[in-house]
A = this chain, B = another copy of it.
């Protein structure tokens, strides 16, 4: 048995959750699970329908993007995963979808405003949207640069990837991450719900205000403060 069996299983199970949560159409999406001691991650192979996935078909890749084990080609987004794992040391799972509402926001280049407590229970800033790459980055190693596009945007905004586990890549679609692959998928589901609710909120009341600071701080504290007690 492969010494990577545990992350193969973890990535396989997490990938299967994407269609169950209505986060992917056809084959658009991929989840990976990392073992940081071994310095590798397991990721969905490219172009394989969700119905035909097995844990054995997952591809093992190192944090430079090199395939270590597996007969199939890894997802075309693999280099983006690799860059995030290499630079953000505590991330152990990453999910990428083209979920409908989050992708629509990404296509507008707008961050998703924080309008309510559903949002504040998960992150206390707007969901950031990394602006599209400069043309010279596009001509280079595109998927590799997508990783830096995300990391640089977090640096510019002064955001911590431990507190904000989701991003929109402008013109593209969302990436989410977390302490394992399941949490990354959970964050993708949360993001899609926030994206849909924010869209509807603006349709119902175009001049709506963002959530006020006192509520943002309260929700931050009940989750992250010294007396954190939040769960639902």
A208, B230: Cα distance in complex, Å: 38
The one of B46, B77, B142, B186 in contact with A218, judged by C-beta atoms closer than 8 angstroms, is B142
Q: Which residue of B lies closest to A199 (CB)?
A: B204
A29–B232 CB distance below 8 A? yes
Residues of B within 8 A of A110 (CB): 204-205
Q: A28-B118, A118-B28 are in contact. Are A108 and B205 (CB under 8 A)?
A: yes
Total copies of this chain within the assembly: 4
The smallest beta-carbon distance between A45 and chain B, in angstroms, is 9
Residues 89-127 of A at the B interface (beta carbon under 8 Å): 98, 100-101, 103-110, 115-118
Q: Tell me whether A171 is interfacial, beta carbon within 8 Å.
A: yes
For A47, list chain B residues within 8 Å (CB).
231-232
Chain B residues contacting A198 (CB-CB under 8 Å) are 107
A168 and B92 CA atoms in complex are apart in Å by 38
What are 19 contact pairs spanning A and B, CB under 8 A? Answer: A25-B189, A26-B186, A26-B189, A26-B190, A47-B231, A73-B231, A75-B231, A100-B193, A100-B196, A100-B200, A101-B200, A104-B201, A107-B197, A108-B205, A116-B171, A138-B215, A139-B214, A142-B222, A199-B204
Interface residues of A (CB under 8 A from B): 25-30, 46-47, 73, 75-77, 98, 100-101, 103-110, 115-118, 132-133, 135, 138-139, 142, 171-173, 186, 189-190, 193, 196-205, 208, 211-212, 214-215, 218, 222, 229-232
